[in-house]
Chain A
Amino acid sequence: MIQSLLIANRGEIAVRIIRTCREMGIRTVVAHSQADSDSLAVRMADQAVCIGPPPARDSYLNVRNLVTGAVLSRCDAIHPGVGFLAENAGFAREVIEAGLIFVGPDPEVTQLLGDKIQAKQSAQKMGIPVIPGSTGSVADAVQAAKAAEEIGFPVIVKAAAGGGGKGMRIVRSSSELADVLRIASQEAEKAFSDGTLYLEKYFENPRHVEIQIVADRLGNAVHLGERDCTVQENHQKLVEESPSPAVSAELRATMSADAVRLLGGLGYTGAGTVEFLVKNGRHWFMEVNARVQVEHPVSEMVTGVDIIRQQILAASGEPLEVRQEEVRLGGYAVECRINARSAGRVTRFIAPGGFGVRVDTYLHDGAVVSPYYDHLVAKLIVSGNTRLEGLTRMGRALSEFVIDGITTNLAQQARIVAHPVFRRGIYGTGFMADMLKEGPA
């Protein structure tokens, strides 16, 4: 079993990991930049190691300082959290080479899944429906035009090494294709040092639904139901819920079985998510997120399973604590991501509470929101017996939430949760754009 864990991350996810470690009796060492030397995670951890100056590339992405810090502070494992180096196979290799446990899948698996073309081909081989598209990458405009003709417009151009919308473009007619390919390839080259592109059929206004998986090294892969992450702005998720209002029991069973087969078949370890597009009651494989996700608490709330705990057990070579037949998907849960819209010092912080309410955050009175990092400052998660009960509770909890000193998206989240279209549950990824077109609240 892991005895001492270095957390190579910051903010709310570092706090989240420390909490589970405390319950498991694991000593925690948090790696932090100079901007975070007074953070909640630093206060909560048993030990803290400064690994660099504020910019992430010199601190949270500094492999040498992270690995050295772990070794010298006598850790036997590193948890990468989310973002930063969480899906970096090279980092995982360095960690393992230093004799430490990497809390995540094996680097070979991460590498395969990080290549979106290879991931898609693996899914296809296992009989999982994939979005119609080019077979592999497109080498030039002629090949792309041929592929687009076969798929039918509109198509979406994606980067093989992609993520975060970079290198991604929607093309509606053949005349635009050649120009778009050039731009997308350059963008991908800049972002990922790999300009390889592929084409897919573009679905208008689909739903984004993902299956949470936990897997151990003994061959057990268990799903914890789905999360619907359709409410997005610029490819950034804002609200996540489980169960999805668009997924029938039959579709849930099929998607879950597909996700378990894929990650089980690849020898995946730890927490992972298989993302699907859903439209008209059908599903298509999109990609795998080879890490724990920001929205994992939603699944924890409906299953009662601590996902970080399963991750740590799996990394230690222990079996998962739950078997598939023991997983109960009970009731409803929803998460609102609270994002900062300005940096600064929090002058007053009052978290909502009461029945069925959970807040994961690094904020407190006097906490500093740094301009150097991601704008996520808190996650508000509530549960309820039904969707209606859960959303009513979320509205109530949002109205209690006070974060003074910085500006946040609290008001926008309240507007989403109260919106009649969102309440009805029938919408696609275009929901946010449509809502914002209605004008200010």
Chain B
Amino acid sequence: MDLKQLYALMERFERTSLSELTFKKDGEEVTLKKGAAPLVHVPTAGIAAVHAQAAVAAAQPPAGLPGRGSDIEVIRAPIVGTFYRSPAPDAAPFVEKGDRVKKGQTLCILEAMKLMNEFQAEYDLEIIAILADNGTMVEFGSPLFEVRRT
């Protein structure tokens, strides 16, 4: 399913009285839900851009709080924006899981009001996990990376 078809499906769904809709075709599966915590689940990362919400809207601990292990820290979005892992759609990501990153190196871009804001590592670190999907909306405080100081 391409983006245009997905948008059409979403728009049509909004106008119905249905509260939930699951659509399967060619191994792809899309579920649309209405109500208090609407969520769209799309297996393809890029498409999830249209709907990123409740999942990351849950109450968040303040930035920098330890994650799983005591030495693991979570880097959170300092602004609302669209999360990009690479400088251009066809370019390689700034960082990958397992990368060792030097202080000042760019981790990601958050696009807000047509401005590409580059976010840099504030200290030397290792990327443990990438928590946001490329091209999705992130809220203030959304977790972006799990890191360990090196």
| Chain A residues at the B interface, C-beta cutoff of 8 Å | 27, 34, 37-38, 42-43, 46-53, 59, 64-69, 71-74, 94, 98
Contact = CB atoms under 8 A, between A and B. Distances in A.
A98 B140 contact: no
B54 to A, nearest CB: 7
Interface stretch (B74-82, B91-99, B126-134): B74-82
B54 A51 contact: no
Nearest to A34: B141
- Chain A, interface SS category: mixed
Interface string B122-150: 00000000000000010111100000000
Interface string B81-116: 110000000000000000000000000000011000
Contacts of A34: 59-60, 62, 140-141
A49 B80 contact: yes
A65 B112 contact: yes
A64 B38 CA distance: 25
A64 B110 CA distance: 12
Interface size bucket, B side? 20 to 34
Interface in B42-63: 50, 53-54, 57-60, 62
Contacts of A98: 113
Contact of B80 (A27, A51, A74): A51
Contacts of B81: 68, 72
Contacts of A73: 53, 137
B140 A72 contact: no
A22 to B, nearest CB: 12
Contacts of A46: 34-36, 38
Given A46-B38, A59-B140, A68 B60 contact: no
Given A38-B59, A74-B50, A52 B38 contact: no
A38 B141 CA distance: 15
Given A68-B79, A68-B80, A50 B140 contact: yes
A69 B81 CA distance: 7
A307 to B, nearest CB: 27
A47 B54 contact: yes
A198 to B, nearest CB: 36
B17 to A, nearest CB: 11
Contacts of A43: 36
Nearest to B81: A68
A64 B57 contact: no
Nearest to A97: B113
12 contacts: A27-B14, A42-B57, A46-B38, A48-B54, A50-B57, A51-B139, A64-B80, A67-B113, A68-B80, A69-B80, A94-B113, A98-B113
Contact of B140 (A38, A53, A71): A53
Contacts of B79: 64-65, 68
Contacts of B57: 37, 42, 47-50
A280 B10 CA distance: 61
A246 B136 CA distance: 57
Nearest to A69: B80
A47 B38 contact: yes
Given A34-B140, A43-B36, 4 more contacts: A34-B62, A48-B57, A50-B57, A52-B140
Contacts of A64: 79-80, 112-113
Contacts of A74: 50
Contacts of A66: 80
A255 to B, nearest CB: 42
A85 B137 CA distance: 23
